[in-house]
Every structure is written in C-alpha cells, then in structure tokens.
Amino acid sequence: MVSTSTLIISLFLLVLGIWTLLWLLFALLSPLFGQGSASRATASTQAKSGSTSSSLRGFHERLLFRRRVRVFQDLDAAIRDNRLVVAKRLLPKALYLEWIQWSPELIAKSASHHLDLLNKLIVIAELEGSSVRSLPKLESLFAQRASLLNQAFEARIARSRFRTKQRTKGKTPPHWSTKEFDQRLATLQQEFADVRGEILTLFAAAIAELENAKSSTDDLGQYH
C-alpha cells in the first residue's frame, strides 16, 4: 500500500514535470511567434494613440464649425428682422475655411453650410434690389475647396494604410518612404490656401458690391 506522503510527493513531481515541459515548449516556440505578436501589439497601441490624438484635434475643428453655424443662425435671424446692415456684417464671419484634417464629416457639412450662406447673400441682394455678379465664381471656388479637402483626406488615408502595413510586418517605415504622400499633401494644402484667399477676396467684393448698390439706390431715392 502506497503511503500518503509518497502519493503527495509523486503528484508534486508530476505537476513539476508538466510545468517544466510547458515552460520548455514556450521557450522554444516564443521566438517564432513573439515578433509578430509584439508588432501587432505595437501597431494596436499606436493606432489607439493616433485615434485619441485625432479625436482631440478633431474636437477643435468641430468647435470652430459650431461657432460658424451659430453666426449663421444670427445672420438668418437678422434677415428675418430686416436688419440687413447687421446681416451683411455677419456674412463673412459665418465662413468656415479651415484646412480640415481630423473631421472628414465636416467637409460635406461645411460645403452645405457655404451653399446656405450663398443663398443668404442672394436673399439680401434681392431685398435691397441688387444682385451678386460674383455668385457663379464663388460657387465654383467653394466646390473646389471641398474637392481639395477630399483629395487630401484620401491621401492621408493612403499614407496611414502604408505605415500600418509596414509596422504589421515589424518594420518602421523610413521618412523617405512616405515622401510622395507628404509632397502630395503639401501641394494640396498650398492649392487650398490659394482658393481660400480667392474666396475671402471675392466674398468681400460681393459684400462691397451690395453696399455700393444700396448707396446708389438710396441716392436715387433722395434725388427723386
């Protein structure tokens, strides 16, 4: 008959042997899987960190857009109350011409916002018996702005996918490997800045045109 102490020692040695075998298997196999797991873990951590950073930066873009929307609401109220002087002063303040990088949904929203703004410009012109000759050009510039932002967003997505693919393979992409993406984005941003400048200039000219037409109408009324 086997004693209790002998049985306990046998069980202990069995457990120890199993644990030792598992440890050896882990030591032998970890070099095969460790690098891929580490790369995936690193990529996952970087993705989460990038997502948090994008969210914070996107918050600033969305905050600015909400402020422009509030200005637009004040503009709409001024038109309804026939406070056209105030309305014309609010028109340029409602423009949202930021270089959108972190909130792609704002591209479509701001495009719609600017179309509404042009409609208000037309309403003011009609109320004052005038017209906006630069309207077609402004529409074209706003469309061009949205197109440039969309192209830039697609370029960032392509660059991000390339970097993620390299990191998944356990590689750190060198700076030169994304140079083409960076140059493309720099070109788009410069074109965007040019379009933004044209919009500001033409929008100011359109408001000045309304002011001049209003002055001419007032002078004609006084003459009669």
- pLDDT tens for 77-101 read 999 999 999 999 999 999 999 999 9
Q: Is 187 a member of any domain? A: yes
Q: What is the 3-state secondary structure (H, E, C) of 118-150?
A: HHHHHHHHHHCCCCCCCHHHHHHHHHHHHHHHH
Q: Is 75 a member of any domain? A: yes
pLDDT of residue 169: 80
Q: Domain tally for the chain? A: 1
Q: Is 29 a member of any domain? A: no
| Angle at which helices 105-127 and 179-223 cross, to 10° | 10
Q: Is the pLDDT of residue 9 over 80?
A: no
Q: Work out the pLDDT band at 21, boundaries 50, 70, 90.
A: low
State what percent of residues in the chain have pLDDT above 70. 70
Q: Is 92 a member of any domain? A: yes
Find the domain containing 62 and state its range.
Answer: 43-223
Q: Is 49 a member of any domain? A: yes
In sequence order, the 6+-apart residues with CB closer than 8 A to the CB of 181 are: 155, 156, 158, 159, 162
Q: Is the pLDDT of residue 181 over 80?
A: yes
Q: Is 9 a member of any domain? A: no
Mean pLDDT for all residues in the chain = 81
Region 183-196 average pLDDT = 97
Q: Is 2 a member of any domain? A: no
